[in-house]
Amino acid sequence: MNHYEAILDFFSKADKPVSAGQVAEATGIERKEVDKVMKKLKEEEKIVSPKRCYWELKK
């Protein structure tokens, strides 16, 4: 599983909005890489931010 898939999988299992730091800590992926993948997910409109600095899958 690559980083993109791992992070997307983490978001699908999260029961509440999470920060990039929480994603990095839970997946073991470096924060810099998490930021890159999350940027791509935002551009693809797969994640949205219900409150500042927290993200969840678009419903």
Residue 22 confidence (pLDDT): 97
- Can you give the pLDDT at residue 59? 85
Q: Specify the number of domains making up the chain.
A: 1
Identify the CATH number of the domain in which residue 13 sits.
1.10.10.10
Q: What is the pLDDT of residue 31?
A: 97
The domain in which residue 48 lies consists of 3-57
Phi, psi of 28 (to 5 degrees): 80, 15
Q: Is the per-residue pLDDT at 6 higher than 90?
A: yes
Residue 4 has pLDDT above 90, yes or no: yes
28: DSSP letter = T
What is this structure's pTM? 0.90
Which tokens sit at 37? Answer: 């993948």
Report pLDDT digits (tens) over 9-46: 999 999 999 999 999 999 999 999 999 999 999 999 99
